């Protein structure tokens, strides 16, 4: 592991008031500046993991260690939703500025930072556009810019590119990795795409569909920056095959029960 | 160009047909006055009608302002507490579904001032759309945006100002457009029941008064003023909606 754990879950359970058990005895660690993907079928509790780490939900049992779950500086944690989640009544500039504004900073004080981060995500010149005027990919870029504006140490991303087309997704994958290398945050990236998880991550954790815990872990040692050629390299294909097999195994017992 | 003037043309055609029909069929003016006679009567009686018009306008806008204040205030309470909404919403529904004509006589018994009674009647009719729409709007904020505000530890005031109010604004304006028309209807209906009891009287009393004297042209003249008022309210709120929803995007700018 590249550094000491920055966020972790230890034997964490999450039961909802409805009685649904989302997580049971899950262990998970992400080190500083590490890129980890959480891969699993829909409804396996991936999003719940992120919400616990963001302090948006409380665990039913176990220990959560993350800057947001503790009373530490909240700006350390950023969350990117599957939907861009921009305020439709505000410009790109004002949307990106929101975290700083909520922290009490004036418009003038954050002007340069907003422009810098928009430049970083490739949205320079779109400061005054409204979300409705942007494409899906550009809205997601604005959403990522808003997450980066506080210079977070932890980026929690909940299937951010799931709704985008393949080309846009590849481009955003590249740009996200570029941001990650310069901005030095730890990323926990939830996805249900094997290919995306392998391309992005240093480690991929596979979550079980019923158990709500990690059932497999695959390391991808390819150095960064990762080029498009990585997508057709043997190591990439091997990692994809390994993860696909882990996911297939996950479904096997259920299929047998059904039969 | 044609689609702009077509409503005007159809209105003119309707008036021309009306005028022609009355003249050709020699319909007596106490049955159906021609539009020209209505306008003539309006100008002849304008000074006396204007006072009543002003009174009706005062009741209408007074009730509307109270409906906005009351509706938004109660909606905010409901948005803060589902339990409170659960307990009190049925009362709001009862007020809404009871025909104002039916409760106006009671209100006139219990409220000494006729003006206050009329205001109350019009308010009952007008406040519900604002209440229910604003409650809906305050609840309509994107759940992910709510989470984002929580993540960045927004204060309740920031949450209200930067998230809930902008989210609720389109709903509130939709309610306002309905309530604007309803407050006029409420004001007139209540006065119809009250009759010319007070010192000041509105257009409804003038219509009743004219009907007792079979002064049909004057009834139409008063009606024309009501129509003008209603259309003006409709236009005003449509324009307001355009301005506010256009500015709503820019509303983030300090």
CATH code where residue B142 lies: 1.10.3720.10
Mean pLDDT of A176-193: 93
Percent of chain B with pLDDT over 90: 62
Collect all residues of chain B within an 8 Å Cβ-Cβ radius of residue A90.
166, 249, 251-252
Q: Give chain A's mean pLDDT.
A: 88
pLDDT for residue B254: 37
Q: Per residue in A198-218, pLDDT tens?
A: 999 999 999 987 767 888 999
Asked whether residue A248 carries a pLDDT value surpassing 70, the answer given is yes
- Tell me which of A65-79, B178-192, B211-225 is least confident: A65-79
Residue that wins the pLDDT comparison between B230 and A210:
B230
pLDDT for residue B252: 33
Asked whether residue A68 carries a pLDDT value surpassing 80, the answer given is no
Q: Which residue has the tokens 């294909």?
A: A237
Range of the domain at A179: 5-83+152-258
Residue that wins the pLDDT comparison between A100 and A254:
A100
> Which helix or strand (DSSP H or E) is residue A38 part of?
strand A35-39
Total of domains in chain A? 1
Q: Could you tell me the strand order of the sheet in which A5-15 lies? A: A21-31, A5-15, A61-65
Give residue A253's pLDDT band: very low, low, confident or very high (50, 70, 90). Answer: low
* Nearest residue of chain B to residue A97 (CA atoms): B252
Q: Is residue A115 part of a domain?
A: no
Among A58, A48, A43, A16, CA closest to A188: A48
Q: Is residue B12 part of a domain?
A: no
Asked whether residue A257 carries a pLDDT value surpassing 70, the answer given is no
Largest CA distance in chain A: 64
Would you list which residues of chain B are within 8 Å, Cβ to Cβ, of chain A? 142, 144-145, 147-154, 158, 162-163, 166, 169, 248-254
* Nearest residue of chain A to residue B155 (CA atoms): A102
- Tell me which of A202-216, B39-53, B189-203 is least confident: B189-203
Residue A227's alpha-carbon distances to A120, A122, A171, A203, B200, in angstroms, are 19, 19, 11, 18, 83
Q: Is residue B188 part of a domain?
A: yes
Q: What is the distance between the alpha carbons of residues B137 and A89, in angstroms, rounded to a whole number?
A: 14
Give residue A252's pLDDT band: very low, low, confident or very high (50, 70, 90). Answer: low
The answer to whether the CB atoms of A102 and B253 lie below 8 A apart is: no
Residue B66's alpha-carbon distances to B69, B71, B83, B177, in angstroms, are 5, 8, 25, 15
pLDDT for residue B247: 53
Q: Is residue B96 part of a domain?
A: yes
Range of the domain at B65: 50-252
Mean pLDDT of B140-151: 93
Q: pTM value?
A: 0.81
Q: What is the distance between the alpha carbons of residues A173 and A141, in angstroms, rounded to a whole number?
A: 11
The dihedral over CA atoms of A100, A101, A104, A106, expressed in degrees to the nearest 10, equals 100
Give residue B197's pLDDT band: very low, low, confident or very high (50, 70, 90). Answer: low
Residue B245's alpha-carbon distances to A193, B160, B169, B239, in angstroms, are 39, 18, 8, 10
H-only helix segments in B111-202? 114-139, 143-151, 156-159, 165-194
CATH of residue A185: 3.40.50.300
Q: Is residue A168 part of a domain?
A: yes
pLDDT for residue A1: 45
DSSP lists the bridge partners of residue A9 as A28, A64
Q: Is residue A169 part of a domain?
A: yes
Asked whether residue A39 carries a pLDDT value surpassing 70, the answer given is yes
Q: What is the distance between the alpha carbons of residues A102 and A113, in angstroms, rounded to a whole number?
A: 15
Most B CBs within 10 Å, among A102, A130, A144, A149, to test the B interface: A102
- Tell me which of A23-27, A40-44, B177-181 is least confident: A40-44
Q: Is residue A40 part of a domain?
A: yes
Q: Is residue B164 part of a domain?
A: yes
* Contact between residue A112 and residue A100 where contact means Cβ atoms under 8 Å apart: no
> Which helix or strand (DSSP H or E) is residue A109 part of?
helix A107-120
pLDDT for residue A76: 87
Q: Per residue in B71-116, pLDDT tens?
A: 999 998 888 788 888 898 888 888 888 888 888 889 988 998 888 9
Mean pLDDT of B164-183: 92
Collect all residues of chain B within an 8 Å Cβ-Cβ radius of residue A79.
147-148, 151
Q: Is residue B54 part of a domain?
A: yes
């Amino acid at each position: 592991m590249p550094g000491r754990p920055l966020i972790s879950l230890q034997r964490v359970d999450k039961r909802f008031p409805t009685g649904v058990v989302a997580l049971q005895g899950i262990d998970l660690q992400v080190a500083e500046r590490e890129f980890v993907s959480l891969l699993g079928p829909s409804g396996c509790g991936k999003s719940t993991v992120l919400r616990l780490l963001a302090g948006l939900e409380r665990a039913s049992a176990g220990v959560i260690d993350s800057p947001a779950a503790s009373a530490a500086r909240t700006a350390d944690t950023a969350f990117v939703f599957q939907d861009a989640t921009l305020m439709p009544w505000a410009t790109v500039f004002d949307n990106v500025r929101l975290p700083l504004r909520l922290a009490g900073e004036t418009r003038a004080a954050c002007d340069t930072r907003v422009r810098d981060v928009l430049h970083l995500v490739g949205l320079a010149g779109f400061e005054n556009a409204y979300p409705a005027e942007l494409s899906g990919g550009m809205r997601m870029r604005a959403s990522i810019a808003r997450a980066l504006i506080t210079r977070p140490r932890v980026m929690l991303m909940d299937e951010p590119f799931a709704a985008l087309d393949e080309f846009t997704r590849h481009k955003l994958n590249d740009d996200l990795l570029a941001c990650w290398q310069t901005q030095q945050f730890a990323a926990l990236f939830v996805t249900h795409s094997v290919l995306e998880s392998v391309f992005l991550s240093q480690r991929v954790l596979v979550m079980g569909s019923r158990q709500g815990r990690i059932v497999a872990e695959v390391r991808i040692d390819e150095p960064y920056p990762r080029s498009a050629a990585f997508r057709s390299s043997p190591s990439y294909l091997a990692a994809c095959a390994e993860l696909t097999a882990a996911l297939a195994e996950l479904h096997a017992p259920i299929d047998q029960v059904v039969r | 160009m044609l689609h702009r003037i077509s409503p005007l043309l159809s209105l003119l055609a309707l008036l021309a047909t009306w005028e022609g029909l009355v003249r050709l069929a020699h319909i007596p003016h106490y049955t159906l006055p021609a539009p020209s006679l209505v306008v003539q009567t309006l100008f002849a009686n304008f000074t006396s009608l204007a006072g009543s018009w002003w009174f009706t306008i005062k009741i209408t806008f007074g009730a509307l302002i109270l409906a906005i204040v009351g509706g938004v205030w109660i909606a905010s309470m409901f948005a803060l507490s589902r339990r409170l909404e659960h307990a009190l919403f049925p009362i709001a529904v009862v007020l809404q579904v009871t025909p104002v004509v039916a409760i106006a006589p009671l209100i006139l018994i219990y409220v000494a001032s006729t003006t206050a009674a009329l205001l109350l009647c019009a308010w009952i009719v007008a406040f519900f759309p604002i209440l229910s729409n604003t409650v809906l709007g305050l609840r309509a904020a994107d759940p992910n945006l709510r989470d984002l505000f929580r993540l960045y530890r927004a204060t309740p005031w920031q949450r209200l100002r930067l998230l809930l109010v902008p989210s609720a604004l389109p709903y509130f304006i939709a309610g306002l457009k309905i309530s604007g028309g309803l407050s006029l209807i409420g004001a007139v209906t209540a006065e119809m029941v009250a009759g010319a009891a007070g010192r000041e009287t509105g257009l409804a009393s003038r219509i009743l008064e004219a009907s007792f004297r079979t002064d049909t042209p004057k009834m139409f003249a008063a009606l024309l003023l009501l129509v003008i008022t209603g259309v003006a309210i409709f236009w005003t709120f449509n324009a307001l909606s355009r301005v506010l929803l256009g500015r709503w995007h820019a509303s983030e700018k300090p």
